[in-house]
Structure 1
Amino acid sequence: MKPKIELLAPGGDVEAIKAAIIAGADAVYCGLDTFNARNRAANISFDQLVGIIRLAHQYDCEIFLTLNIVILEQEFKTLMKLLNKLVNTTLDGVIVQDLGLLYVLRKHFPTLAIHASTQLTTHNAGQIPFLKHLGAERVNLSRELNLREITTLAEVGREHDMLLEVFVHGSLCVAFSGLCYSTSASAGNSGNRGRCSQACREEYETTESGNNFPLNIKDNSAFFDLPALIEAGVYSFKVEGRIKGASYVHTVIDSFRKQIDGYVETGKLTQDGERLYKVFNRDFSNAFLRGDLNQSMFIDNPRDNSKNHLVDQLKAEKGESISVVQIHDAQQQLQLDKQEINASVDDKIAHLSIEKIKLSLSFSSEEGKPLSLTVTTQQASSKLATAEQETTVLFSSSCMLPSEKLSVDQEAIEKRFKNINNANYELVSLDCSNLGDNLSIPYREITTLKNALLAYLNEGIEVIPTVELPKLERHPKVDQENPQPKLSILISDEADIALAQETDADIYFKLPDAYKRGCTQYVDFFKQNPRLIPWFPPVLIGKDFDAALNILQQVKPELIVTNNTGIAYHAQKLGVKWIAGPFLNTTNSYVLLALQEGFDCSGAFISNEINRQQMKQLARPKNFKMLYSIYHPILLMASRQCFFQQSVGCEKPRIDNGCMLSCDKSTSIKNLKGDSFAIDKQKAGYPSIYNQDQFLNMDIIDDLADLFDGFMIDLTNIGAGSRVSPDKLALIKQFEQLLQGNQNVKSELAAMVPESTVDQYINGL
């Protein structure tokens, strides 16, 4: 039996979507001009979306809409208007990042299929049932996973009836998707809001290893790994590229279509992939998929590599003796090839139409017979050059009777039918010339006839009535007897446990990202230090998730903080109270409800990306704590790839198993504006880049003390680089004084943390 494989194409604008459809995509994902993570794409209007759905379905192609950003509280009113329209289309699914939107969709719009975006950073076995419980029916896995890890997750997916998507081609982020705050902190353009400024593609001052684009990695391509991905159990092969044009989309999708079909038919790969080099690329790598993270993944050129690839080919064929003339001629031919591709694609999609269907309505009546409505629809066929016309006749249930007072005349008909236009149809004719004079039926039957017309136009599907979100109730703080926000502290060094003797603050202990096999040291550690609250990191892959889960299961602490939804899922199953960490990107009240109602969550850290006004709109659920980090290093990005290879160099050509556990280097890079960024690698931690300033928000204590149950300070020293950190005990005492209302310590804290910023709190999302 042939496996069912979906080829999922990007569609940034109407022409690119048409190109994907005609190239043989099984599905296309696209975005409207709001609520999607590719603001730089042209995107489409709602009316265009409806036309695109109609066109795609003629070619047995599905359409998925991207709503893949975090949502702000004040946006739900607008979002609900959109969802109420979408639910009455034949849209095939929505792609979502925000947990609050997942909650709203599952609860109020159950007919919309939900796909979990790659922005949710899904990479372990606990996250799949977590997302399933929130209503997702498929998940796009993190791009950093290798084949072995994908195979394991595919097995989990089958257990929970969850389909898996994997990116097989297009741009790669060097950072974990959904956990990149590089342009949010530095430029106010959040990747979690679709406004990534691509700091990873920027030019930096030449590094010690001689690179000007030290964060720029090659494009992803699994063109020759399709058999392994099919064997692994992947359902959907997803191509990145919603800011790319029609010729790019058609070339890539057509190439993958032929490769997939050829393999399914013959059991062999039949395509050489050379066409992929004729459209935009940064050269290609499948190193993440192979689990071979090496220096060859990087390329010191963020622009199109097509010409360079061509020169490399010539050198391979003719040796280094090729002439300038030969190179020039070849590049000229490449340019002609690209022009031919553009012209060919334009020609192939020229006949495809998403215009509204023309609608004509003709009414007639005579005494003793029902009111009749002749409905004629006409659309330009996308497969044929001729127009297609359909006619049907609808009738009232009652017969027309004489009436001099309430006549069903042209005015009565136009009042109810002239605004029948919708996203699918354009009313071009409303003919009432055959209505008899002084005849009537009960007016409710005219409404019934209108509803019958709407049902017919909606392909017989009953129109779903408008849904309104119930007003959220704002509950008081959990501890009404002590409403003053409490201080909490994050540490990661066992030596800092001594600080517990000097404060009654809650103390979180940050667990590492990676573990030695069979690691049990933290089980004993937490049992010996029961006051410490385990803090789980956002990324826990494979054996590292197993080790972290073992800590949770063996220790069974009273309370944990987790930035990983896989750990959250198992905490709820074990009956362990848990708090959602700041890296779960909580920006609205519906996230809080999703976590509390679905997983017995006790509280959540609110995202540091939102500002004072955006926080004030949040509604606390009953018996739910709201927390916020007021002092911490600002993480810009974390990666599975090594940042030292391209900055200061590394003697290892590739990352091996020991790198994660033993490497603890630090350095910095500087962009052409003179901004410096700390590169930090802790033992058993992922390589990370931090802002040059610490986050220090003293204003929120005056502004929103009534909203928050607690404020946290991060004393881990992670991301400090060569900077001398303030005395930790002194910091604790100063912050305790500040929470008690002593305004005098603000100047002292500012002096202790001279390189600080509060821009995110001011700018928001």
Structure 2
Amino acid sequence: MEQKIELLAPGGDVDAIKAAIIAGADAVYCGLDTLNARNRAANISFEQLIGIIRLAHQYNCQIFLTLNIIILEREFKSIAKLLSKLVNTTLDGVIVQDIGMFNIIKKHFPTLDIHASTQLTTHNIGQIPFLKKLGASRVNLSRELNLREITAINKVCLEQDVLTEVFVHGSLCVAFSGLCYSTSASVGNSGNRGRCSQACREEYETTPSGHNFPLNIKDNSAFFDLPALIDAGVHSFKIEGRIKGANYVHTVVDSFRKQIDGFLNTGELTEDGERLYKVFNRDFSNAFLRGDLNQSMFIDNPRDNSKVHAVNKFKADESQAISVVQIQDVEQNLQADKNTIEAEVVEKIKHLSIEKVPLMLKFSGQLGQPLSVTVTTEGFSVEQSTFTLQSTSLLRTSDKAFIDSTTINKRFKSFNNAEFLLKDINCDNLASGLSIPFKELTVLKNDVASRLNNSVTVLPEVTLPPLVSHPKADAQHDKKAKLSLLICDEADVELANVTNADIYFKLPDAYKRGCTKYIGFLQQNPRLIPWFPAVLIGKDYDVAVNILEQVKPALIVTNNTGIAYRANELGIKWIAGPFLNTTNSYALLALKEDFDCSGAFISNEINASQMRNIARPENFKLFYSIYHPILLMTSRQCFFQQSVGCEKPRIDNGCMLSCDKSTSITNLKGVSFAIDKQKAGYPSIYNQDQFLNMEIIADLSHLFDGFMVDLTNIGAGDRESPDKALLIQQFEELLSNQTIDNDSAVTQQLNNLVPESTNIQYHNGL
């Protein structure tokens, strides 16, 4: 069977969507003005969405709606109203991040096709069956993957009947999507809520290696890698750019359309890609795709690179030095090209309309005849431009409840809606003083609605059933929350001698191929509860699974859904870690019902009021981290190359396993951030402050079964770590009292032990 290649385009506003359609996109993804991960885009209204779907389908283009943020408890009522409207459209799919959103769509709106967002950080083969069971028909793979890794995942996708999307062009995040908390930690602008403030594009004080934009990475472009991606089994080539305008979208989509079609027709790449440099870009890199994470991926300028490229290309074509006048000519020519592009796009899209479909209803009927309604639409499908429906009963005389224009207007005025402009309700040919049973008038209205909806029955609005909040598992409501500890140093196992707390052992992000070291270690220390990290790619996932299968612990904590899926298969109890971004009751319900999850950490991104009404599933435990380093972002790329410098030109597996550097960068506001790289860990950036939340113990102990203290020292940099045994002692005393007195000895002692701390997220929330 011939492989279908989909070109999936961004649409941040109506003009950009029109530009994508006319340029030949097979599908467009766009967002409403709420609930999507590009809040900075103009976005569209529901009314515009209806017109866009109709326009796109005329060009055999699909429309996918982005609902790709984490959801708060209070939002599900309005979400149910929105989904109830979406199921009565011909929308082609919804893009989802939140596990709770998967749950309600699968249960209550099964006709909606669900796509897993890139925010779910999908990067290993175990995550595919997890997402399939949640209800996903396709997944957007992490941008950090190389071709070999994509190919391996696609084999599993084929087995699971799941389609894959890969970003082939546009902005690159230096951090793993879904695991960036860079501005959430300070001002509540979370990337998981579509409010990314792009801290990675900020200017910083000049680093020792001479860079002012040390986190700024070039744009992604796989323009010349399309054959390899086709061979890898990728279904959809996705272009990033929902905050870009129509000129950008049309140019990029048209370029990729020609490149794809040229290759499919000739077996060769026919386009040189130069047009891509005439619209916004930060220069291009395909290093992630090639698996070559080198220094050239960075660029010390987050702004448009198109002028620089044009000048450099002109210099390369000349055999001698060029003058300032020549440079000005090149820049003017580029601007002229940009103006031409804009004029051409305006001309191409100006005739495309998303206006409502004009609708006219004409009622007629005489005594002893059925009530007839003739429906006329303009600009709709030809075969349904006019149709007539009739009541089952015949009109009869009535002294009281007769049907007249007032009654009909009241019943049928709702057809003036997001899709139709009700221009006229004509009752001139309806005799007066006649009636039929009013329930038949409702049936007639529903029949009209069904015919206008392509003969699909209009589904009623769904009201989500109330959730039951169950008492704490194996405990009474007033049972005190238990302390748990997270360690990563094997020497810290000795802390078991000073506490009865649960002890989680954080396993590495990376391993030597076939590593068995941790199997013996965990078997020798059965009290340790394995803690699996968020990102496990390729061989690292294989080793982690082998640890799980060989040790077969009674309980694990995992931040990776691939490990969660395998644990569920093996009958191992598991707890969802804090980096699964769990923020609502429906996410807990999905984890419990679909994967027999035993408990979950509630996200530290939400505040007290946002977590207060979360409903606990039956026999399910809730946890919260009260002390930990504040992770801002984790990357597959090296943060040291652009900060303090590194003699290695690229990051490789040896770097992952052996590098344990730390440094810091400071932005122009004077705020410093710690860069930390642990052995066998991914490069990460942390707040200088630690997270310390003692308030939640007094506020919400009734909600939580356990509070965790992170003793891993990760992100501490050169700072001296507090005495761990003393920390444990103070936290245990704090939990035994469950009241917070700022002047108490234990509170003062903890503040002394952790002098640089904050719990601003607990107050800001999302």
Q: TM-score range by the shorter chain?
A: over 0.9
Cα distance in 2 for residues equivalent to 1:212 and 1:286 = 23
How far the C-alpha of 1:355 sits from its partner, in A, is 0.3
Look up the SS of the partner of 2:276 in the other structure. helix
Look up the SS of the partner of 1:182 in the other structure. coil
Deviations 1:81-124 (A, max 9, x none): 10111111110000000001001111111000000000000000
8 Å contact 2:41–2:242 — kept in the other structure? yes
Partner of 2:376: 376
Q: CA RMSD in A?
A: 1.2
**Partner AA of 2:530 in structure 1:** P
Partner of 2:761: 760
Cα distance in 2 for residues equivalent to 1:142 and 1:216 = 18
Which structure 2 residues correspond to residues 189-338 of structure 1 after superposition, within 5 A?
189-319=189-319, 321-338=321-338
8 Å contact 1:378–1:389 — kept in the other structure? no
How far the C-alpha of 1:438 sits from its partner, in A, is 2.2
8 Å contact 1:115–1:139 — kept in the other structure? yes
Cα distance in 1 for residues equivalent to 2:443 and 2:525 = 70
Partner of 1:403: 398
8 Å contact 1:205–1:672 — kept in the other structure? yes
Cα distance in 2 for residues equivalent to 1:590 and 1:58 = 37
**4+ residue segments displaced more than 4 Å:** none
How far the C-alpha of 1:371 sits from its partner, in A, is 1.3
8 Å contact 2:634–2:682 — kept in the other structure? yes
Partner of 2:654: 658
Cα distance in 1 for residues equivalent to 2:120 and 2:600 = 17
Cα distance in 2 for residues equivalent to 1:451 and 1:388 = 20
Partner of 1:556: 552
**Partner AA of 1:347 in structure 2:** E
Look up the SS of the partner of 1:628 in the other structure. strand
Deviations 1:695-746 (A, max 9, x none): 0000011111111101000000000001111011110001011111175200
Cα distance in 1 for residues equivalent to 2:234 and 2:347 = 34
**Partner AA of 1:63 in structure 2:** I
How far the C-alpha of 1:761 sits from its partner, in A, is 0.3
Cα distance in 2 for residues equivalent to 1:642 and 1:555 = 32
Cα distance in 1 for residues equivalent to 2:614 and 2:425 = 49
Q: Normalising to structure 2: TM-score of the pair?
A: 0.98
More displaced 10-residue stretch of structure 1: 179-188 or 691-700: 179-188
Partner of 1:463: 458
How far the C-alpha of 1:306 sits from its partner, in A, is 0.1
Cα distance in 1 for residues equivalent to 2:610 and 2:434 = 58
Cα distance in 1 for residues equivalent to 2:401 and 2:735 = 73
Deviations 1:385-411 (A, max 9, x none): xx9992111111222223333322222
Cα distance in 1 for residues equivalent to 2:366 and 2:495 = 92
Equivalent residue in structure 2 for 1:679, among 652, 655, 675 = 675
How far the C-alpha of 1:694 sits from its partner, in A, is 0.2
Deviations 1:402-429 (A, max 9, x none): 3333322222222211232121101001
Pair 1:619-2:615 in alignment: yes
Cα distance in 1 for residues equivalent to 2:504 and 2:242 = 41
More displaced 10-residue stretch of structure 1: 2-11 or 197-206: 2-11
How far the C-alpha of 1:654 sits from its partner, in A, is 0.8
Aligned length: 760
Pair 1:641-2:642 in alignment: no
Deviations 1:168-191 (A, max 9, x none): 000000000000000101232000
Deviations 1:142-190 (A, max 9, x none): 0000000000000000010000000000000000000000010123200
Cα distance in 1 for residues equivalent to 2:625 and 2:136 = 30
Partner of 2:443: 448
8 Å contact 1:379–1:389 — kept in the other structure? no
Which structure 2 residues correspond to residues 13-24 of structure 1 after superposition, within 5 A?
13-24=13-24
8 Å contact 2:315–2:322 — kept in the other structure? yes
Partner of 1:108: 108
Pair 1:68-2:63 in alignment: no
Cα distance in 2 for residues equivalent to 1:460 and 1:230 = 37
Cα distance in 2 for residues equivalent to 1:406 and 1:732 = 77
How far the C-alpha of 1:319 sits from its partner, in A, is 4.2
Cα distance in 1 for residues equivalent to 2:384 and 2:129 = 47
Question: Gapped runs of 5+ residues in structure 2?
Answer: none
**Partner AA of 1:448 in structure 2:** V
How far the C-alpha of 1:630 sits from its partner, in A, is 0.3
More displaced 10-residue stretch of structure 1: 472-481 or 618-627: 472-481
Cα distance in 1 for residues equivalent to 2:594 and 2:380 = 47
Cα distance in 1 for residues equivalent to 2:384 and 2:442 = 26
8 Å contact 1:31–1:66 — kept in the other structure? yes
8 Å contact 2:483–2:708 — kept in the other structure? yes
Partner of 1:384: none
Partner of 1:80: 80
8 Å contact 2:187–2:764 — kept in the other structure? no
Partner of 1:188: 188
Pair 1:513-2:509 in alignment: yes
Pair 1:575-2:576 in alignment: no
Partner of 2:734: 738
How far the C-alpha of 1:505 sits from its partner, in A, is 0.4
Look up the SS of the partner of 2:531 in the other structure. strand
Change (3 A) 1:297 1:319: farther
Q: Normalising to structure 1: TM-score of the pair?
A: 0.98
Pair 1:593-2:589 in alignment: yes
Cα distance in 2 for residues equivalent to 1:16 and 1:94 = 19
**Partner AA of 1:153 in structure 2:** I
Cα distance in 2 for residues equivalent to 1:126 and 1:29 = 26
Cα distance in 1 for residues equivalent to 2:33 and 2:222 = 30
**Partner AA of 1:100 in structure 2:** G
8 Å contact 1:356–1:379 — kept in the other structure? no
Cα distance in 1 for residues equivalent to 2:725 and 2:384 = 80
8 Å contact 1:30–1:65 — kept in the other structure? yes
**Partner AA of 2:391 in structure 1:** S
How far the C-alpha of 1:367 sits from its partner, in A, is 2.2
Cα distance in 1 for residues equivalent to 2:160 and 2:591 = 20
Change (3 A) 1:295 1:553: same
**Partner AA of 1:69 in structure 2:** I
Look up the SS of the partner of 1:691 in the other structure. strand
Cα distance in 1 for residues equivalent to 2:682 and 2:749 = 33
How far the C-alpha of 1:315 sits from its partner, in A, is 1.4
Pair 1:522-2:523 in alignment: no
